[in-house]
Amino acid sequence: MAFSQDVVIKALKRADGRCECQSDTHEHRARCETRLEWWSRGRPAWSGSAWDGAWEAHPRISMNGGGADGLANCEILCWQCHVAAIVGLVYGAMADA
Ligand SMILES: [Zn+2]
Ligand SMILES: [Zn+2]
């Protein structure tokens, strides 16, 4: 799971600094739009409100599953959605087994 910094910056601009998640299995239903802080990538803040501004660049299709490392496959997710997506992938893998 590795996007180049160039791709991540473009994705973050496309996302307008907000979570792009539109998964209907998450609590937000419509687009999440949690506001993100550029410097909080991969670093959930434990002080203040939980997960404040933290995010990660998440592949829509996992690279192990043949996803590309380009902008089209790069989704900017807040930390909660990122974790939920990973858990979903794990559940999915278990369901496939
Ligand atoms: Zn989100
Ligand atoms: Zn979400």
Supply the mean pLDDT for the chain: 87
Position 15 scores a pLDDT of 98
Query: Ligand 1 centre from 25 Cα, in Å?
Result: 12
End-to-end C-alpha distance for the chain, whole angstroms = 22
- Per residue in 49-90, pLDDT (tens digit) is 556 799 999 999 988 899 999 999 999 999 989 989 988 877
Tell me how many domains the chain contains. Answer: 1
Query: Ligand 2 centre from 21 Cα, in Å?
Result: 5
What is the mean predicted confidence (pLDDT) over 9-18? 97
- Per residue in 29-56, pLDDT (tens digit) is 899 999 999 888 987 655 555 567 999 9
> Taking the model in full, what pTM does it have?
0.84
Whether 17 has a pLDDT exceeding 70, the answer reads yes
Using CA atoms, how far residue 50 sits from 38, 47, 84, in Å, is 17, 7, 15
DSSP 97: -
Residue among 49, 55, 46, 91 at smallest CA distance from 75: 55
Q: CB neighbours of 93 closer than 8 A, spacing ≥ 6?
A: none
CA distance 5 to 8: 5
What is the percentage of the chain residues whose pLDDT exceeds 70? 84
Query: Does residue 8 contact residue 57 with C-beta atoms inside 8 Å?
Result: yes
CB-proximal residues (5 Å) to ion ligand 2 = 21, 23, 26, 32, 81
Please give the residue range of the domain that contains residue 77: 5-96
